[in-house]
Structure 1
Amino acid sequence: MGGILRTGAVMAVCATVVAAGCVAGASGSAQAASADVVPGSVPAALGTATRVGTAPASQRLTVQVWLRPDVTRAAASADAVATPGSLEFHRYLSPDAYTARFGPSAAQAAAVAAWLTGKGLTGVQVDAGRDYVSATGPVPAVESAFQVRIGRYRVRDAASGSSAGPAVFTSNDREVSVPAPLAPLVLGVTGLSSAAATSRSTATAAPQSRAATKTATCSRYWAQHAHALHPAYKGLTRVSLPVCGYSAAQLRAAYGATWRDTGRGQTVALTEGASPTAMFRTLTAYARSNHLPLPKRSQFRQVQAGACQASSAVADRAAQSPSVDVEAEMDSEAVYAMAPGANQVMVVGGGCDEDQALLNAASAVLTGDGHHPLASIASNSWQIPLGSVSTRIVHALDVRAAAEGVGMYFASGDTPGLTVTDSDPYAVAVGGTTLGIGAAKNRVFETGWSDDLGSLSSGRWTDLGVSGGGGGVSDVYRQPSYQKGVVPASMARVKVAHKTVLGRAVPDIAADADPDTGMLTGYTDTDSHGNPGRYRTVASAGTSLATPLVAGLVADAQQGRKSPYGFINPLLYHLARTRAFHDALPIGTSTPQRNRAAYIASDDTSTSAYVDVFDAQKRSDTQQVTAKGYDTMTGTGTPNGAAFIDALRRGCWFRPGGSGRRDGTTE
Structure 2
Amino acid sequence: MKKDSRLRATASVRTVASQLLSWLMTLMVVSLLDGCNLLASPGTAQHGSSPTPTAVIPRQAPSPLPPEHQIVDLPTLRQLPGGQPLPANLSLSLSFTLIYNNDALDRTLRQIYTPGSPLYGHYLTPQQIRQSFGPDEQQITLVKQWLLDQGYQVGAVDPLATQLEVTATVATIERSLHLQLREYELNGQHFYLASGVPSLPPQIASLVQSIIGLSTFAMPRPWSFFEPLGPALAGTQGAAACSKYGAKQSLTRAQLAGAYQFTQLYQRGLQGQGISIGIAEFSEPFDPRDIVTYAACAGVPAPRIQVVDVQGHTPRGPGQGEAALDIELAASLAPQAQIVVYQAAQASIQAMLAVFQRVAAENRVQVFSVSYGAAEDQLSTNEQEIFNQLLRIIAAEGISVLISSGDCGAFTERIPNIAVVSAPANAPFAIAVGGTTLTVDRQNRRQSESGWGRDQDAGFICRNDWGSGGGVSQTAAFKRPYWQVGPGMDTSYNGQRGHILTPNLEPLQAPNGLRQVPDVAAAADNICIFWHGQWIRVGGTSAAAPIWAAGLALVNQGLRQEHAPLFGGVPTVYRLAHQSGNPAPFNDILRGDNGLYQATRGWDYVTGWGSPNFLALLQRLR
Q: TM-score range by the shorter chain?
A: 0.7 to 0.9
Match of 2:618 in 1: 645
Match of 2:193 in 1: 171
CA distance change for structure 1 residues 521 and 54 in 2, over 3 Å: closer, same or farther?
farther
Q: How does 1:527-566 map to 2 (within 5 A)?
A: 535-560=533-558, 561=560, 562=563, 563-566=565-568
Matching residue within 369, 389, 400 for 1:379: 369
Matched, 1:271 2:271: no
- Separation in 2, partners of 1:198, 1:99: 28
Match of 2:471 in 1: 472
- Amino acid of the residue matched to residue 330 of structure 2? V
Deviations 1:42-88 (Å, cap 9, x if unpaired)?
9x9x9986434232233211000111110011111111111111100
Cα contact 1:380–1:408 (8 A) shared by 2: yes
- Amino acid of the residue matched to residue 469 of structure 2? G
- Could you say what secondary structure the match of 2:454 adopts? strand
CA distance change for structure 1 residues 187 and 487 in 2, over 3 Å: closer, same or farther?
farther
Match of 2:421 in 1: 418
Deviations 1:543-598 (Å, cap 9, x if unpaired)?
221111101101111114134221143344433575221122214xxxxxxxxxxx
- Amino acid of the residue matched to residue 566 of structure 1? G
Matched, 1:364 2:361: no
Deviations 1:107-143 (Å, cap 9, x if unpaired)?
2122222222222122443222211011111211122
Matching residue within 217, 222, 231 for 1:200: 222
- Separation in 2, partners of 1:634, 1:421: 17
- Could you say what secondary structure the match of 2:105 adopts? helix
Matched, 1:631 2:588: no
Matched, 1:449 2:449: no
- Amino acid of the residue matched to residue 567 of structure 2? Y
Match of 1:108 in 2: 139
Cα offset for 1:438?
5.2
TM-score under structure 1 length normalisation: 0.69
- Separation in 1, partners of 2:213, 2:120: 37
Match of 2:322 in 1: 327
CA distance change for structure 1 residues 554 and 47 in 2, over 3 Å: closer, same or farther?
farther
Match of 1:283 in 2: 291
- Amino acid of the residue matched to residue 386 of structure 1? E
Q: How does 1:478-517 map to 2 (within 5 A)?
A: 478-491=479-492, 502-514=513-525, 517=526
- Separation in 2, partners of 1:167, 1:251: 38
CA distance change for structure 1 residues 497 and 200 in 2, over 3 Å: closer, same or farther?
closer
CA distance change for structure 1 residues 640 and 89 in 2, over 3 Å: closer, same or farther?
same
CA distance change for structure 1 residues 367 and 488 in 2, over 3 Å: closer, same or farther?
closer
Q: How does 1:235-274 map to 2 (within 5 A)?
A: 243=249, 245-258=250-263, 259-260=266-267, 261-274=270-283
Output the aligned Cα RMSD. 3.6
Cα offset for 1:393?
0.6
- Could you say what secondary structure the match of 2:360 adopts? helix
Cα contact 2:370–2:545 (8 A) shared by 1: yes
CA distance change for structure 1 residues 251 and 185 in 2, over 3 Å: closer, same or farther?
same
- Could you say what secondary structure the match of 2:421 adopts? coil
Unmatched runs of 5 consecutive residues or more in structure 2: 1-39, 47-67, 233-243, 411-419, 495-505
- Separation in 1, partners of 2:493, 2:481: 11
Cα contact 2:181–2:192 (8 A) shared by 1: yes
- Separation in 2, partners of 1:142, 1:204: 42
- Could you say what secondary structure the match of 2:172 adopts? helix
Matching residue within 384, 388, 392 for 1:395: 388
- Could you say what secondary structure the match of 2:156 adopts? strand
Deviations 1:431-472 (Å, cap 9, x if unpaired)?
1122234565444432222211465xxxxxx78788222222
- Could you say what secondary structure the match of 1:37 adopts? coil
- Separation in 1, partners of 2:318, 2:337: 30
- Separation in 1, partners of 2:194, 2:83: 13
- Separation in 2, partners of 1:419, 1:256: 29
Cα offset for 1:285?
2.5
Matched, 1:432 2:435: yes
- Could you say what secondary structure the match of 1:480 adopts? coil
CA distance change for structure 1 residues 207 and 55 in 2, over 3 Å: closer, same or farther?
same
Cα offset for 1:350?
5.1
Match of 1:191 in 2: 213
Unmatched runs of 5 consecutive residues or more in structure 1: 8-33, 157-165, 211-218, 225-242, 309-313, 456-461, 524-534, 588-614, 651-667
- Could you say what secondary structure the match of 1:566 adopts? coil
- Separation in 1, partners of 2:229, 2:512: 49
Deviations 1:482-513 (Å, cap 9, x if unpaired)?
232334322599x9999985333211110122
Cα contact 1:553–1:645 (8 A) shared by 2: no
Cα offset for 1:361?
0.9
**In proportion to residue count, which structure has more strand?**
1
Match of 1:227 in 2: none
Matching residue within 150, 154, 163 for 1:132: 163
CA distance change for structure 1 residues 35 and 571 in 2, over 3 Å: closer, same or farther?
closer
Matched, 1:305 2:300: no
Cα contact 1:264–1:341 (8 A) shared by 2: yes
- Separation in 1, partners of 2:514, 2:284: 37
Cα contact 1:270–1:345 (8 A) shared by 2: yes
CA distance change for structure 1 residues 496 and 143 in 2, over 3 Å: closer, same or farther?
farther
Matched, 1:37 2:71: yes
- Separation in 2, partners of 1:381, 1:631: 21
Cα offset for 1:420?
3.5
Match of 1:405 in 2: 398
CA distance change for structure 1 residues 497 and 451 in 2, over 3 Å: closer, same or farther?
closer
Q: How does 1:595-634 map to 2 (within 5 A)?
A: 615=593, 617=595, 622=596, 624-634=597-607
Cα contact 1:196–1:354 (8 A) shared by 2: yes
- Amino acid of the residue matched to residue 338 of structure 1? L
Cα contact 2:286–2:323 (8 A) shared by 1: no
Match of 1:69 in 2: 100
Matching residue within 127, 130, 141 for 1:99: 130
Match of 1:609 in 2: none
Matched, 1:51 2:118: no
- Separation in 2, partners of 1:357, 1:118: 26
CA distance change for structure 1 residues 497 and 69 in 2, over 3 Å: closer, same or farther?
farther
- Amino acid of the residue matched to residue 378 of structure 1? F
Cα contact 1:412–1:431 (8 A) shared by 2: yes
- Could you say what secondary structure the match of 1:482 adopts? coil
- Could you say what secondary structure the match of 2:483 adopts? helix
Cα offset for 1:92?
1.4
- Separation in 1, partners of 2:251, 2:385: 38
CA distance change for structure 1 residues 641 and 3 in 2, over 3 Å: closer, same or farther?
closer
CA distance change for structure 1 residues 410 and 248 in 2, over 3 Å: closer, same or farther?
same
| Structure with bigger gyration radius | 1
Cα contact 2:488–2:603 (8 A) shared by 1: yes
CA distance change for structure 1 residues 428 and 463 in 2, over 3 Å: closer, same or farther?
closer
CA distance change for structure 1 residues 206 and 124 in 2, over 3 Å: closer, same or farther?
same
- Separation in 2, partners of 1:51, 1:130: 38
CA distance change for structure 1 residues 540 and 58 in 2, over 3 Å: closer, same or farther?
farther
